[in-house]
Structure 1
Amino acid sequence: MVQGPDNKGRSSLPEGGKARRVYLHLHEDITRGSYAEGAVLPGEQKLSVQFDVSRVTIRRALDALEDEGLIRRSAGSGTTVCAAPDAPSVAADFTTLMPQVVQMGYDTTVRLLSFGYGPPPAAVAREMQQTSDAVMQRAVRLRLVEEQAFSHLTTYVPEDIARNYSEAELATEPLFILLERSGVVVQTAHQSVSATLASPDVAAHLGLSVGAPLLSLDRVVRDAQGRGVEYLSALYRPDMFRLEMTLGRVGAGEARHWEPIIQPDPAQAAE
């Protein structure tokens, strides 16, 4: 099953490296509150001097900001900063991320973009300790909150496990639940978080500009025998998803340091 991207509200970076630099700088200043709602930006001439670019370059950057609804330009009034549009968001505590991710599967909706079987990429095969010709199920999904996509998820599951559930079930049920129904006893998981840039395909699905920053989370889940049962590559919009961690000071003297405070898992964990 394949669905086309929803381009509603998608922003577009201006052409040219200099215009993009100006756009990104002003975009960050506006979204972080350096320019309050109703504030008037410096004129094009002052901005061109500030950023050492031409006025044409400034106009390209301002055009992109206006398209996103972050500024309003009018003759005689200059360029006025508008309120950044409210967007739904999701937060998760990094120390208890697994059960929260499971619960997220019930609190948000999912759209299945693609589903099929074939050999995994070499990096996935290596992490899952599979041979290069192994057959795995690959599924690509969007997760949405209030009908707005905030994450792009690509999962790989060994064929003998994945054949226990259908494409329709994957489109409606959290993957962790489907794995458990298939008899998998999940024991451990290793995950890493980094940053990346949105490719054209991912940008279109998440309603972002190509090259927009994304939070990247990779996770390998293993069963009680240490076998890899799921590989997840998740990309999150940083303006709609954040990872949090509560720290406490422990130890004494020079050995005193910060450590994460591990919260008890919720009584019921579900993706």
Structure 2
Amino acid sequence: MRTEAVQKLPEGAKARRVYLSLHDQIAGGELSDGETLPGEQKLAQTFGVSRVTVRRALDALTQNGLIERRAGSGTKVRSRPDGGQRAAMDFNTLMPQLVEMGRQTTARLLSFSYGEAPDFVAAAMKLESARKVQIATRVRLADDVPFSHLTTYVPAEIAQNYSENDLATTPLFKLLERSGVQIKEAHQSVSATLAGPDVAEALDVDVGSALLSLRRVVRDVDGNGVEYLSGLYRPDMFRLEMPLTRVSQGSTRHWEPAIGQGEKGN
């Protein structure tokens, strides 16, 4: 794990563009561990910038532990400091895998409070105006490396059945069921966003880094909203995989997600 919580970007818009491009290629595996980068002149031509700009970007990558520069041997991509692998999530078995992830990882509680539900939460959960909710923010870690930043909103009358300590040590879905909630369904969406200063510090990534953004509303058997989750995930530690199948005939033939295919049981 990197020793600095928030990594600094190089000065200058052009240097940041070069830095972020190389950073994403390293994080995504396009530039593999031990691979030698092109020289400064070649990089300058590739990105259409000066060698001074390239040098600033490379200096920042070096300081952040992503590359190693040695005289006579060039600039090489360093092994990931945390040595970790991405958590691969197949859409066919996404929820069971998330449950298992909750058992095998640890959580650090950052904040815990009660207050009125924000408008976007109240609308998504179909809560009455000024309804009180418990608001908790946690960071989940795998082998002491943070990979997700989770903020949950739960109606206060449900949340009063468990403590702050419970939330720090037990997956929320278990606490909801222990509180008597009969969960029936959930709707979630996945998009992308950028890491702000607080989230970047909590996840040990650069400010402005791309993150996976997951929003989920959980409902009980009566259709009541019992949880709103806003989750942010490091893409270098987490990915979603989706099997696809070719369907239809002729000119209308296209790809569709093969959700549910190959599953056994419930």
Q: TM-score range by the shorter chain?
A: 0.7 to 0.9
| Residue from 17, 37, 41 that aligns with 2:37 | 41
* Alpha-carbon distance in 2 for matches of 1:210, 1:106: 29
Q: Which runs of 5+ in 2 are unaligned?
A: none
What does residue 188 of structure 2 align with?
A: 191
Q: Give the number of equivalent residue pairs.
A: 262
Displacement of 1:152 in angstroms is 0.3
Displacement of 1:105 in angstroms is 1.2
1:23 is paired with a residue of what secondary structure? Answer: helix
| Residue from 41, 62, 65 that aligns with 1:66 | 62
1:113 is paired with a residue of what secondary structure? Answer: strand
What does residue 219 of structure 1 align with?
A: 216
Letter in 2 for 1:70: L
Superposed, 1:70-219 pairs within 5 Å as: 70-85=66-81, 86-219=83-216
Displacement of 1:226 in angstroms is 0.6
The answer to whether the 8 Å contact 2:91/2:259 transfers is no
Q: Which runs of 5+ in 1 are unaligned?
A: 1-5
Structure 1's 256 and 46: CA in aligned 2 closer, same or farther, altered over 3 A?
A: closer
Displacement of 1:96 in angstroms is 3.0
Normalised TM-score (structure 1): 0.86
Letter in 2 for 1:130: L
Letter in 2 for 1:149: P
User: Residues 78-97 of structure 1, C-alpha deviation per residue, up to 9 Å, x if partnerless?
Assistant: 32333444224322222332
The answer to whether the 8 Å contact 1:7/1:204 transfers is no
Structure 1's 14 and 266: CA in aligned 2 closer, same or farther, altered over 3 A?
A: farther
What does residue 56 of structure 1 align with?
A: 52
The answer to whether the 8 Å contact 1:7/1:205 transfers is no
Structure 1's 129 and 101: CA in aligned 2 closer, same or farther, altered over 3 A?
A: same
User: Residues 87-138 of structure 1, C-alpha deviation per residue, up to 9 Å, x if partnerless?
Assistant: 2432222233223222221111111111010012211111111234111000
Structure 1's 29 and 141: CA in aligned 2 closer, same or farther, altered over 3 A?
A: closer
Displacement of 1:15 in angstroms is 2.2
* Alpha-carbon distance in 2 for matches of 1:245, 1:35: 24
Identity across aligned pairs (percent)?
60
1:57 is paired with a residue of what secondary structure? Answer: helix
Normalised TM-score (structure 2): 0.88
* Alpha-carbon distance in 2 for matches of 1:7, 1:69: 10
What does residue 260 of structure 1 align with?
A: 258
